[in-house]
Amino acid sequence: MASEETPLLTSSSDGDKTAHEAIYDWFTRRRKRWIVFIVSCAGLLPKLVAASFVPSIPQVAKELHSTHAAVSLTVSLSTFATAIGTLVWAAYSSFYGRRTMYLCGIPFLFIGSCGVAMSNSLRSLLFWQFIQTFGCSGGLSLGAGVIGDIYKLEERGIGIGIFLGATLFGFAVAPFLGGVAAQYWSWRNLHYCLAVWSLLELLLIYVLLPETSHPGTLGIDKLKQRRRIHVAWVNPLRSLWLLRSPNLFGVMLATSLALITDYVLLVPLAYTIGVRYGITNKAIIGACFLPNGLGNFIGAPLAGRLSDVLIRKWQKKRNGVWSPEDRLRATWIGGLFMVPLSIGVSGLLTTYVDGPVGLLLNLLCLFINGMGVVFVLNPIGSYNVDVVHSQSAEITAANAGVRSFILSVATAFVIPSIERIGVAWTNTIVAVLALLGQGIVFLTIRYGDRMRASVDVGFSTIENN
């Protein structure tokens, strides 16, 4: 068990390190990049499915003879399905393997997408959208687990950076696709396209994605006797118990507070920027989401590379002793500057600056916010995989599940807050919350060893990381 007097991880002998690192040499650099591409395509699906539906809500409400508020329940339902699904797929991936869970989950996405496209009532729509989102919700946790399997400690940040960039880019580009479909095509055809995409992703995974879990680590491998088709019960809520660790809970809260800024800017965008600058075309409103996604896409690999550099730099300073909290130092540029400044300035621009200048500067804020958020999310995501490497999918799922719940509650107050106190004050409050999150990160860097020592959830060592 870790203690306050000893660092969590220290360098082992060269022979041990060589034997351990041999695990990460199974796949060539080119094969690893291909694996990251495959899991990134799967990782962006949950956000793409949920966010692409938002611009089509008025069209859906009209076709199903329902109300805007009633159809909007699909957004909350998707968030709930994502929280449940990511826990289920992550828990079972530790027993059956990552590849198997991808192959089990994506058929739900296909069936659910077809069901959504053929829905003729609100009840049917809600049911099939739950199935649809549940099927693809493992993309985030499984993808993080795969990247933790194939990349060693000093290279993990860049891999997770590319993966998170693709995932968050899906969230930003989805409203544009949904807006184009709602304006010029049909929301039903969009979901048929998602069904086709799911089949292509299923084929890609079946043919080209190997099982990446390390030998002997899967639950099914540890059974002395097993049936040809072995069905086991794995508690999907078990991964939430990891968050009893103060450092893991603290960084989860910090990412949630940073990510709330994204949602506060994007969810009411049609209501804020759209109304303020007279934008009514759904496709153009959807296009306003793109700068944020571009910021995610550009910033994620940069943040990942920076966190890898800092890990190596500080380990060298300590003469080979590794403190995992060193990776969190890469969050400063995003958490202290980009995130709070971008959302604060956006609120002031929307309130006081008219015309094309105000719109263009707001789009610039969306881009900076997209970069800033991933400069917080990426190092923390890599840190989670580092400290509980053997449970990388589970800790990612626990973070995603609790974070989804926090975001679903927070976003429910966004528009009421804007109506009551205005865009500027709402954004300022959220900027302050993001800074408080960065304060939690500072405390984790400063007292990480004591926090880990207080509750040991099976932290990794240099020999098994």
- Answer whether residue 127 is part of any domain: yes
- Answer whether residue 227 is part of any domain: no
Question: Quick check: 23 pLDDT over 80?
Answer: no
Q: Going by DSSP bridges, is the β-strand pair 9-10/321-322 parallel, antiparallel, or unpaired?
A: antiparallel
The DSSP bridge partners found for residue 9 are 322
Count of alpha carbons within 13 Å of 252, Cβ hemisphere only?
24
For residue 443, count other CB atoms closer than 10 A to its CB: 15
Share of the chain above pLDDT 70, in %: 90
- Please give the radius of gyration of the chain, using alpha carbons only, rounded to the nearest integer: 22
Counting the structural domains of the chain, the total is: 1
Check: CB of residue 82 under 8 Å from CB of residue 208.
Answer: no
Looking at residue 221, its pLDDT comes to: 67
Residue 293 confidence class, pLDDT cut points 50, 70, 90: confident
Mean pLDDT, the chain, rounded, equals: 85
- Answer whether residue 247 is part of any domain: yes
Largest distance between two CA atoms of the chain:
71
Residue 3 confidence class, pLDDT cut points 50, 70, 90: very low
Question: Quick check: 203 pLDDT over 90?
Answer: yes
pLDDT digit string (tens) for 41-61? 888 888 788 777 777 777 787
Question: Quick check: 1 pLDDT over 80?
Answer: no
pLDDT digit string (tens) for 325-378? 999 999 999 999 999 999 999 999 999 999 999 999 999 999 999 999 999 999
Question: Quick check: 10 pLDDT over 50?
Answer: no
No. of H helices and E strands in the chain?
22, 2
Q: Where are the alpha helices (DSSP H) in 97-186?
A: 98-117, 122-136, 139-150, 156-184
Check: CB of residue 193 under 8 Å from CB of residue 49.
Answer: no
pTM of the predicted protein model: 0.79
More confident of the two residues 460 and 89: 89
- Answer whether residue 230 is part of any domain: no
Share of the chain above pLDDT 90, in %: 36
Q: What is the CATH number of the domain that holds 284?
A: 1.20.1250.20
Looking at residue 336, its pLDDT comes to: 95
Question: Quick check: 395 pLDDT over 80?
Answer: yes
Residue 9 confidence class, pLDDT cut points 50, 70, 90: very low
For residue 272, count other CB atoms closer than 10 A to its CB: 24
- Answer whether residue 232 is part of any domain: no
Residue 465 confidence class, pLDDT cut points 50, 70, 90: low
Question: Quick check: 2 pLDDT over 50?
Answer: no
Helix, strand, coil shares, percent, the chain, to 5:
80, 0, 20
Question: Quick check: 224 pLDDT over 60?
Answer: yes
The DSSP bridge partners found for residue 322 are 9
CA torsion through residues 86, 254, 76, 180, sign: negative
- Answer whether residue 78 is part of any domain: yes
**Encoding tokens for residue 392?**
């990388």
- Answer whether residue 30 is part of any domain: yes
Backbone angles phi, psi at 321, to 5 degrees: -80, 130
pLDDT digit string (tens) for 131-152? 999 999 888 889 888 998 888 8
For residues 91-103, average pLDDT: 88
For residues 99-113, average pLDDT: 93
Looking at residue 431, its pLDDT comes to: 97
pLDDT digit string (tens) for 418-455? 889 999 999 999 999 999 999 999 999 999 989 998 99
Please give the residue range of the domain that contains residue 73: 24-214+238-454
Which of 191, 26, 185 is closest to 118 using CA atoms?
Answer: 191
Question: Quick check: 109 pLDDT over 60?
Answer: yes
- Answer whether residue 17 is part of any domain: no
